[in-house]
Every structure is written in structure tokens, then in C-alpha cells.
């Protein structure tokens, strides 16, 4: 990597957290809109398996990736991988098939009751011990399978609803602790860390020798909880298109996450993940849109791939840490997932661009995160 005043060469990056959704032929259409935008930014992309139908096996993951390749623009050749979902019904045999499938990068676990998983989730971590150990035992001659977690809990051990801003921390204190107790040799990543306490806990676990990683999504670097209610012209309003799970935490947590990105990049335990998770903009729909006919708003930000990457470049350059960008955007995730080293690079230059108000294609409309605002780093070649 070399840096000039206004430009920077970066290794081919990895987005280990991309919700490609489904194609028009499958009754959706978000795949055609959003995947080509990621394909020009990243060398490797992991598509998360909460699709319709969900990806629960190696075969389903492989078929979905074959379909996704058909929607890439000409001239770009990213490597696409899938992350099937870990559920109460995932068996060691299913894990062995995933370990032998070169299109599976990791398995993704949602704890029940929190996110958009269609009911395909984990309700009993302890009951999955054999499945978790199968991710890395030597019963077969195949690479280990890392486990990535949406570490939030909606209900506590007594069945009471946990306060929204405590949900990640509750899961870290209880579920992550249990995961590492029953599977101390496994590789476990906490996706989209939102809480400063999670970072401290992950550091403690690493000092004890556990293989744990923090994935940090760009929107948590530029938003805190109060920003959700920042209306135009200094008023108060709810910014539905910024909403995502886990919910944003305090400004102090946001600052801690920016520090964690910078130091964790250099120390090898933090990496980027976009969590680009768009919903259609169609308030006439009963479901499956950002704001439904009934006024229900779902989590998930349509952060454009170029924007999520630009936010990271901007943060590292402003803090004099540009030399750690390749670790954060590429090397650390590759090591954590066992992906090959980058074999491409790309030039990013400092240039102001405005984020469009809407993406539209064949009747599908998506309002991007930070629509109308500017971003500062653009891919040139």
C-alpha cells in the first residue's frame, strides 16, 4: 500500500457481512440492485443466509451463490461466498458438508427473538455443543468453519424482555460466555459490535487465549442513539432509514468503537463488515418493506457499499492510521475466515460525492443510509 496526499492504494477488500437478499425472479429484486454495487468495491463478499428461503445447508448456499454470480456486471470478478444460518436444527453432519464447500465462509448464528432471521435461529446455545465443536474438530480433513454471531438477546433467562440498549451486553455476558465455555477452541466473531463494553470483554477473552474477533460496521462509527431522533433543521424526528439492530448506543460507545477499529485493526482482532441490509421503500406493503402500511419500521440500513468503505477510509486517514486500512478492510477478515490473501488492489481518491436520495430499478425503490449527505473517498481504478 502506498499513500499520496489525495489518493491511496488499498488491497482488494473483504465484506464479510452483506445481505444480498433475493432476485426479481424470486419475487424480490434487491439482489440485482445492491450486489453489483458491492462487486465493484470488494474483492470478496460473504452473502448472509437469511434469504427467502433461508440458506441452511451447504447445497443451498452453493446454489444461492451460483444464482448471485449471474447478477454481476461485466468486467468485475469478486469472489462470492455464503454464510448459512446456524439453527437449533444444525447437525455436525451439516457442518462437515459446509466445511467441504468452498463457497461457505462461515456460519451465522442469530440468537432467537432479535432480528430478521425468519425464525431460523438459536434458542439453546448449550444444546449446540456438538455442532459447534464439529466446526473445527479433525473428524474430517477440511478447513475449520468460523462462527459469526448476531450477539443480542431479547429475553433474559427468566423470560423477561431485556431493555433495548442492554440486549447486546446481556448476550455477551451470558451467551458468548457460554459459547466459549462449551467450545473454547472455536473461532467466534461478534458481528456489528455496538457497545463499548463488548470491546472490553473481547479484549479480555483474547488475553486469555480465545479466538474471538470484533466486526465493526461503518454506520456505528458515524451514528449514536441520539442521532436517530435528529430532525431536519435542528428539530426532532425519527430517522427510520438509519434504524438498525443492534440499536446504536451512546456517543461514548461510538467513540470507543472508532478507537477499537483503529487499534483492533493493527492488533489483528477487528475488521470491517458493512451489514448492508436494505429493505424496499414501499409504504403500501403489509410486510417486507422499511415502513409498512401499518407504520411498522424494520431494522437494517441500506448503507451503500461505496459509502461504508469511504467512512472507514476517512476515519483511518484522519487519524493518521492509513497504514492499518489493509488490515481492517482485508487482511484481518481473511485470516479470521481462512480466505486467500488479496490478489488485487484498488486506488481510492479524495473526492466529494453525494449519496443518492433513492435507488430505483424495475419498481424496486431503496432509500440509502445518509441519503443526500456526502462521502469523501471514491474508487478510481
| Interacting residues with Zn ion (CB under 5 A) | 275, 277
Within 10 angstroms of residue 327's Cβ, the number of other Cβ atoms is: 23
DSSP tally for the chain: helices H, then strands E: 12, 14
Strands (E), 95-210: 107-110, 147-150, 187-190
CB of 111 to Zn ion, least distance (A): 13
CB of 65 to Zn ion, least distance (A): 17
Q: Which is nearer to Zn ion, 28 or 275 (CB)?
A: 275
Tell me the residue length of the chain.
381
The DSSP bridge pattern shows strands 187-190 and 107-110 to be unpaired
Element (H, E) at 335: helix 332-337
CB of 277 to Zn ion, least distance (A): 5
Q: Which is nearer to Zn ion, 276 or 327 (CB)?
A: 276
CB of 275 to Zn ion, least distance (A): 4
CB of 138 to Zn ion, least distance (A): 31
Burial label for 7, CB within 10 Å (0-12, 13-18, 19+), is middle
- 368 secondary structure, DSSP code: P
CB of 189 to Zn ion, least distance (A): 12
Q: 106 and 16 in contact (C-beta within 8 Å)?
A: yes
Q: Which is nearer to Zn ion, 15 or 326 (CB)?
A: 15
For 123, the grid coordinates are 434458542
DSSP 3-state of 318: helix
Q: Which is nearer to Zn ion, 115 or 330 (CB)?
A: 115
What count of Cα atoms within 13 Å lies in the side-chain half-sphere of residue 84?
Answer: 27
Q: Which is nearer to Zn ion, 151 or 260 (CB)?
A: 151
CB of 51 to Zn ion, least distance (A): 12
CB of 298 to Zn ion, least distance (A): 12
Q: Would you say the C-alpha torsion 286, 112, 252, 301 has a positive or negative sign? A: negative
Q: Which is nearer to Zn ion, 136 or 290 (CB)?
A: 290
Q: Which is nearer to Zn ion, 32 or 275 (CB)?
A: 275
Chain center to CA of 223: 16
Distance between CA atoms of residues 281 and 285, nearest Å: 9
Residue with the closest Cβ to Zn ion?
A: 275
Q: Which is nearer to Zn ion, 152 or 275 (CB)?
A: 275
Amino acid at each position: 500500500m502506498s499513500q499520496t496526499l489525495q489518493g491511496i492504494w488499498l488491497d482488494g477488500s473483504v465484506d464479510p457481512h452483506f445481505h444480498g437478499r433475493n432476485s426479481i425472479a424470486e419475487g424480490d429484486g434487491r439482489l440485482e440492485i445492491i450486489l453489483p454495487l458491492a462487486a465493484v468495491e470488494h474483492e470478496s463478499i460473504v452473502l448472509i443466509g437469511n434469504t427467502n428461503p433461508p440458506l441452511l445447508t451447504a447445497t443451498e448456499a452453493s446454489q444461492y451463490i451460483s444464482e448471485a454470480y449471474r447478477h454481476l456486471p461485466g468486467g468485475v470478478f469478486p469472489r462470492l461466498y455464503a454464510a448459512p444460518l446456524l439453527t437449533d436444527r444444525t447437525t455436525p453432519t451439516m457442518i462437515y458438508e459446509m466445511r467441504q464447500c468452498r463457497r461457505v465462509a462461515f456460519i451465522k448464528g442469530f440468537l432467537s427473538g432479535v432480528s430478521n432471521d425468519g425464525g431460523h435461529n438459536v434458542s439453546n446455545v448449550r444444546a449446540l455443543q456438538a455442532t459447534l465443536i464439529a466446526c473445527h474438530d479433525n473428524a474430517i480433513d477440511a478447513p475449520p468453519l468460523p462462527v459469526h454471531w448476531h450477539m443480542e438477546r431479547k429475553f433474559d433467562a427468566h423470560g423477561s424482555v431485556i431493555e433495548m440498549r442492554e440486549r447486546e451486553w446481556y448476550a455477551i455476558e451470558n451467551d458468548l460466555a457460554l459459547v466459549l465455555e462449551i467450545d473454547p477452541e472455536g473461532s467466534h466473531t461478534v458481528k456489528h459490535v455496538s457497545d463499548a463494553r463488548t470491546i472490553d470483554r473481547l479484549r479480555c477473552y483474547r488475553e486469555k487465549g480465545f479466538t474471538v474477533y470484533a466486526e465493526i460496521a461503518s454506520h456505528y462509527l458515524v451514528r449514536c442513539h441520539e442521532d436517530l431522533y435528529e430532525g431536519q433543521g435542528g428539530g426532532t424526528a425519527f430517522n427510520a432509514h438509519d434504524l438498525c439492530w443492534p440499536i446504536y448506543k451512546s456517543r461514548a460507545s461510538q467513540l470507543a468503537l472508532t478507537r477499537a477499529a483503529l487499534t483492533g485493526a493493527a492488533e489483528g482482532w477487528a475488521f470491517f463488515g458493512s451489514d448492508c441490509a436494505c429493505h424496499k421503500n414501499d409504504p403500501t406493503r403489509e410486510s417486507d418493506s422499511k415502513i409498512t402500511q401499518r407504520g411498522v419500521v424494520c431494522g437494517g440500513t441500506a448503507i451503500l457499499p461505496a459509502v461504508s468503505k469511504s467512512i472507514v477510509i476517512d476515519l483511518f486517514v484522519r487519524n493518521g492510521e492509513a497504514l492499518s486500512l489493509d488490515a481492517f478492510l482485508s487482511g484481518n477478515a481473511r485470516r479470521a475466515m481462512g480466505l486467500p490473501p488479496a490478489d488485487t488492489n484498488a486506488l481510492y481518491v479524495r473526492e466529494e460525492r453525494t449519496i443518492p436520495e433513492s435507488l430505483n430499478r424495475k419498481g424496486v425503490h431503496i432509500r440509502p443510509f445518509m441519503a443526500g449527505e456526502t462521502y469523501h473517498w471514491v474508487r478510481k481504478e
